[in-house]
Every structure is written in structure tokens, then in C-alpha cells.
Amino acid sequence: MSDDPTLVIDDEVLLIENGGELPEVAMHGCLYFLRHDPDGLGREPSAEEARRLKLAVVEGYRRIIVRDLTLANRGQGHYRGLARCLVNWGRMRRFCKREGIDPGPVAAEMRELLSGFIAAEREEFLARRLYSQSLNCSAKEIIELCQQIGLHPVLLPPDWQLLIPA
């Protein structure tokens, strides 16, 4: 273990950001390590260190949300589709609310990605090319997501509801 607490926290931030599907669970594992593991800090993280760890959770969620709003990821083992994006957005929002963190920057990124995602899906559908039905959730859920991220549903491509599997 490094004697420099900043380097230890830096390592933990990287673990949380890249810790997979549940960044919040990864943070709790890191907190245990920092507090109780002989190789950890052996103390409670400072307020600033704790904030860095919490922001790493938001970044971890952002990464998996972006992954599932990126059509180029379709067909890859790590891709989960829009339904999983909705789940992770909800988890991130609840975490941000509990921790007093503004989810606005992630919502802004999602606005751009979601509209592009649906537009690309629509183009594939209309051209009868590879169409993956990545909109694997209901129209109601998509409208709710749009409202939560500040994207007015009328800004979505026309007839986007046709992309929802029956």
C-alpha cells in the first residue's frame, strides 16, 4: 500500500468508476477497505475524499448509461440496451438525491445521446437494414425518461413509437 492517502483514494476512485454494473456497491466495498482493511487507510475518509468517492459513483453510472445509449455497442457482450439504461438512470438519480449531487450534467449528455439513439434506430427501421429493437422498453418509460432528463418528447423523431416492440 502507498503511504500517500491521495494515491490510495485515487486508486479507489478508479475502481468505483470502472467497477461494473453497480458503482454504489463498489463504493461501499472501497469504504470498507479504507476503514477496516489493514492495507487501507485505517480511518474514515475525509469529507473531500468521501466526496470524490461519491462523484466516482456518478461517473460509474454515467459510463454504463452512455454505454447503453451508444448504438455502436450493440452486439457486444457488455451492451444492455435502453431498458438497462433506464434502470441505471434511476439508480443514479436516487443516489444523487441522497448525496446532494446534481445529476444535471449526466441528464444533459443523455438528452443528446437519447435523441440520436432513437433517430438512428428509426433510420435503420425505415431502411429495413439491421434493426435491433434496442428500444426494449415501453413508450411510457421513454416518455418518463425524457421528462426526467429535460428532453421534450416532441423533439424525438416522428413516429418513434413504431420502434417499440409489440
Grid cell, residue 22, equals: 453497480
Q: Containing domain of residue 139, as a range?
A: 87-166
Q: What is the pLDDT of residue 2?
A: 57
Q: What is the pLDDT of residue 136?
A: 85
- Provide mean pLDDT across the span 17-31: 94
For residues 93 and 63, membership in a common domain is answered with no
What's the rounded Cα separation, in Å, for the pair 116 and 37? Answer: 45
Residue 133 pLDDT level (bands cut at 50, 70, 90): low
What's the rounded Cα separation, in Å, for the pair 33 and 112? Answer: 37
Residues 6+ apart with CB under 8 A from 159: 122
Nearest to 150 by CA among 93, 114, 108: 108
- 75 assigned to some structural domain: no
Least confident of 38-42, 55-59, 128-132, 149-153: 128-132
- 82 assigned to some structural domain: no
- Provide mean pLDDT across the span 126-133: 65
